[in-house]
Amino acid sequence: MRAILLRPQVCALFVATLLALPVPCVAQALGRLDVVMKPFEAVGETDPEFAKSLWQQLAQAIERKSDFRIASGGSSYYYLKGEVLTDGKRHLVTLRLFKAKTDRTLWLENYDYRRTTADGMATDVIAALSSVPGSDTWN
């Protein structure tokens, strides 16, 4: 049997290539930073433009206050849905966080928009996303 001798440059290139490959758990951890945020549903007397504006403000606040990246579509581990209900006197906002794979509700909160801001809601969403276990073995 003949021994194959490799040049040092080839060995160095091979090792560098192996080190450059993403580690699955790191790739999964980075993928967990993506959150799809579906456009808010305008319910009742709600102006659709108000719901859209609130959706944009919340997405910007989440990205500004955390490492989570908000997308309006595509695949991710989690997605956020919201409804804005106006009854003439007040705006009520309902936010729901789901696990994308199973559509399981992970978190739900209701807000009176007069008593909170997009930053306040973003803080709660970030806390909910951060509290999901890394292993998240529930299906």
* Domains of the chain as residue ranges with CATH: 33-131 (3.40.50.10610)
Q: What is the pLDDT of residue 9?
A: 60
Q: Is 106 exposed, middle or buried (0-12, 13-18, 19+ CB in 10 A)?
A: middle
Q: Rounded to 5 degrees, what angle do the CA atoms 109, 111, 114 make? A: 170
Torsion of CA 133, 76, 36, 66, to 10 degrees: 50
Q: Other CB atoms closer than 10 Å to residue 33's CB: what's the count?
A: 14
Could you read off the pLDDT of 10-52 as tens digits, one per residue? 556 555 554 554 443 333 444 568 899 999 999 988 999 999 9
What per-residue confidence (pLDDT) applies to 23? Answer: 41
* pLDDT tens for each residue of 44-87: 889 999 999 999 999 999 999 999 999 988 888 899 999 999 98
Strand partners, 82: 95
pLDDT of residue 94: 97
The answer on pLDDT for 134 being more than 90 is no
Strand segments, DSSP code E, in the chain are: 34-37, 41-44, 69-71, 78-86, 91-99, 104-112
**What phi and psi values does residue 53 have, to the nearest 5 degrees?**
-65, -45
Regarding predicted confidence, which is higher, 87 or 105? 105
